[in-house]
Amino acid sequence: MVFASCIDSPLYKDCCGDLDADNQQYVWTPNAYTPDGDGLNDVFGVIPRWVNDSTQAMIAAWDFSVENTRGKEIYTQDSLWSAHQSWRWDFIISGGTRALGTLRLNYKVMDLNGTTHNLSYEVCAIDCADVIEKDIEIDLSLCRFEDQLDLNQGFVWPSNEALCN
């Protein structure tokens, strides 16, 4: 049984390592999720930035796709956000499996001037049982969860998640 050691470690490669702030002009981008159904950080959704008290930095987000660590597209969804509605993704892909590990998210946002921007960045979908079982080390200090987000201050500790204790 030699194949097991070949497939486990790349799944979480550089998990939470993408802290590029370029995308954050329009949306807040948590880079970590824990889709385990406990209600904390379970789903991906777009969180718009506010330009001032009444104006958000983007007016729409759409054309969402997700790639795994091998660059394979594993999920697509047309709509993510509009002024009237937001659509979430629960990390379930075709066949009912959960997407875990390092995932690249791609989607478009339209800014206040009507210009479209392509956003692309990596997030980490963590299942603690999976991480512990495979003895994977993730630098959690680099992980930013949705529940750490204060819309006025940005990402703040502590997360309410009990992470892989």
Please report, as ranges, the residues that interact with Ca ion according to CB under 5 A.
34, 36, 38, 40-42
* Minimum CB distance to Ca ion smaller for 36 or for 122: 36
Taking 3-state DSSP, the helix, strand and coil percentages for the chain, each rounded to the nearest 5, stand at: 15, 35, 50
Pairwise CA distance, residues 126 & 160, whole Å: 15
Closer by beta carbon to Ca ion, 59 or else 136: 136
Give the nearer residue to Ca ion in terms of CB position, either 109 or 123: 123
- Least separation in angstroms between CB 39 and Ca ion: 7
Question: Shortest distance, CB of residue 37 to Ca ion, whole angstroms?
Answer: 7
DSSP-assigned beta bridge partners for residue 81: 61, 86
114, 58 Cβ separation under 8 angstroms: no
From the CB of 115, what's the least distance to Ca ion, in Å? 35
* 18 vs 36 by CB, closer to Ca ion: 36
In whole angstroms, what separates CA 29 from the centre of its chain? 7
Asked if 57 and 50 count as a contact pair (C-beta separation under 8 A), the reply is yes
Residue with the shortest CB distance to Ca ion: 34
CB of 34 to Ca ion, least distance (A): 3
Check: CB of residue 119 under 8 Å from CB of residue 25: no
Tokens of residue 145, six digits: 């969860």
